[in-house]
């Protein structure tokens, strides 16, 4: 039976921000929330784990009227669950401290992809940054969306959590984040959403994400291990046989790690050559172009 679409003429978006001893990052996130504009109302919920006395001062300085939950918690997913319980919006968006919306129209561009805002979910593109502020790349997920690929942890299939938005009724159906998964509970949550309804896709960069957290520092071996645990918790089966599932995931894991090893080796060997070439500059004359010593100069001989 087809579910009736609930009409929401002007949705309310609840942005949930968890933070802990990250005053600078929190200010950046709040500023991006305050920039958002469009045909929606916005509720901002900040959960700070009672970690910083500066949270209120930052909010006042920036003119934020966010709802602040300042009490001890049991980690980031417990803090996110507190945000879920406090949220009153039609759509929930988790934008953690230090991360930010990419543009003033980010929320509106996401809402434009939704038909039944309270019962759907979707995700956009995400621009990744390293600690020095330089861009590492844009997370572009495969199309069409594949729950199977996500469940096995295939690279390019993992959904960027900061670029993901969830309808409130869908969140109520899923429940809360699983506290038994300290790293991959967000991907488990996304798998559970995907088991209920296919995601909407927003082909805009909607979030900026800092590659400084524990999840970004994992090795590929650790990454596949936590994704495998999330897959099993979600009950996503690749075949009728668990042993065969494990063999498939093991093969994908090994193949990906070998490819990554060769890619890192190539980068290690080529990067000094490229940098040296940039220093030497283009050849100036025919002699330079044909002199074997100029080749030696490029590789540092």
Q: What is the pLDDT of residue 18?
A: 96
Q: What is the pLDDT of residue 244?
A: 78
Most confident option among 200-204, 224-228, 249-253: 200-204
Q: Evaluate if residue 247 carries a pLDDT over 60.
A: yes
Q: What's the CA gap between 89 and 206, in Å, rounded?
A: 19
Most confident option among 141-150, 193-202, 252-261: 193-202
List all residues 6 or more positions away from 226 whose beta carbon is below 8 Å from its beta carbon. Answer: 181, 183, 184, 218
* Average pLDDT for the chain: 83
Over residues 19-43, the mean pLDDT reads 95
| Residue 163 exposure: Cα atoms within 13 Å on the Cβ side | 28
Q: What is the pLDDT of residue 191?
A: 95
Over residues 197-215, the mean pLDDT reads 84
- Tens digit of each residue's pLDDT (9 = 90 or more) over 97-125: 999 999 999 999 999 999 999 999 999 99
Q: What is the pLDDT of residue 301?
A: 41
CA distances from 220 to 22, 62, 254, 259, 273 (A): 27, 39, 9, 11, 27
Q: What is the pLDDT of residue 288?
A: 46
Kindly state the tokens that stand for 24. Answer: 């600078």
Cβ atoms of residues 57 and 48 within 8 Å? no
In 3D space, the residue among 29, 34, 68 whose CA is nearest the CA of residue 51 turns out to be: 68
- Tens digit of each residue's pLDDT (9 = 90 or more) over 149-184: 888 777 677 899 999 999 999 999 999 999 999 889
Position with higher pLDDT, 100 vs 136: 100
In 3D space, the residue among 186, 202, 206, 173 whose CA is nearest the CA of residue 18 turns out to be: 186
Most confident option among 20-24, 131-135, 294-298: 20-24
List all residues 6 or more positions away from 20 whose beta carbon is below 8 Å from its beta carbon. Answer: 48, 49, 51, 52, 76, 79, 97
Kindly state the tokens that stand for 173. Answer: 């159906």
Q: Evaluate if residue 251 carries a pLDDT over 90.
A: no
Whether the upstream peptide bond of residue 298 has omega within 30° of 0, thus cis, is no
What's the pTM? 0.79
- Can you give the length of the chain in residues? 301
Q: Evaluate if residue 268 carries a pLDDT over 90.
A: no
- Tens digit of each residue's pLDDT (9 = 90 or more) over 56-68: 999 999 999 999 9
Q: Which of 31-35, 42-46, 129-133, 297-301 has the lowest mean pLDDT?
A: 297-301
> Domain segments of the chain: what residues?
12-232, 243-299
Superfamily of domain 12-232: Spore Coat Polysaccharide Biosynthesis Protein SpsA; Chain A (3.90.550.10)
Position with higher pLDDT, 294 vs 21: 21
Q: What's the CA gap between 160 and 215, in Å, rounded?
A: 12
Q: What is the pLDDT of residue 151?
A: 84
Q: Evaluate if residue 300 carries a pLDDT over 60.
A: no
């Amino acid at each position: 039976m087809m579910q009736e679409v609930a009409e929401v003429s002007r949705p309310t978006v609840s942005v949930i921000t968890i933070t802990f001893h990250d005053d600078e990052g929190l200010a950046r996130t709040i500023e991006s929330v305050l920039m958002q504009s469009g045909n929606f109302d916005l509720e901002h919920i900040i959960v700070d784990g009672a970690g910083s006395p500066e949270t209120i001062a930052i909010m006042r300085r920036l003119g934020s009227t966010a709802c602040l939950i300042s009490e001890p918690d049991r980690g980031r997913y417990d803090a996110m669950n507190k945000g879920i319980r406090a949220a009153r919006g039609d759509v929930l968006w988790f934008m953690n401290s230090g991360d930010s919306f990419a543009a003033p129209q980010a929320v509106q561009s996401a809402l434009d992809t939704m038909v039944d805002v309270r019962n759907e979910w979707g995700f956009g593109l995400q621009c990744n940054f390293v600690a020095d502020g330089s861009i590492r790349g844009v997370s572009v997920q495969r199309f069409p969306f594949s729950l199977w690929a996500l469940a096995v942890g295939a690279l390019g299939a993992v959904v960027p959590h900061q670029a993901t938005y969830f309808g409130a009724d869908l969140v109520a159906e899923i429940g809360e984040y699983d506290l038994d998964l300290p790293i991959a509970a967000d991907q488990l949550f996304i798998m559970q959403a995907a088991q209920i309804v296919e995601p909407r896709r927003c082909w805009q960069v909607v979030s900026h994400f800092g590659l400084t957290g524990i999840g970004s520092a994992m090795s590929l071996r650790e990454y596949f291990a936590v994704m495998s645990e999330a897959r099993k918790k979600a009950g996503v089966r690749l075949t009728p046989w668990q042993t065969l599932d494990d063999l498939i995931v093991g093969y994908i894991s090994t193949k990906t790690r070998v490819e990554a090893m060769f890619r890192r080796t190539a980068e290690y060997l080529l990067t000094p050559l490229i940098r040296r070439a940039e220093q030497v500059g283009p050849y100036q004359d025919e002699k330079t172009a044909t002199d074997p010593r100029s080749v030696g100069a490029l590789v540092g001989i």
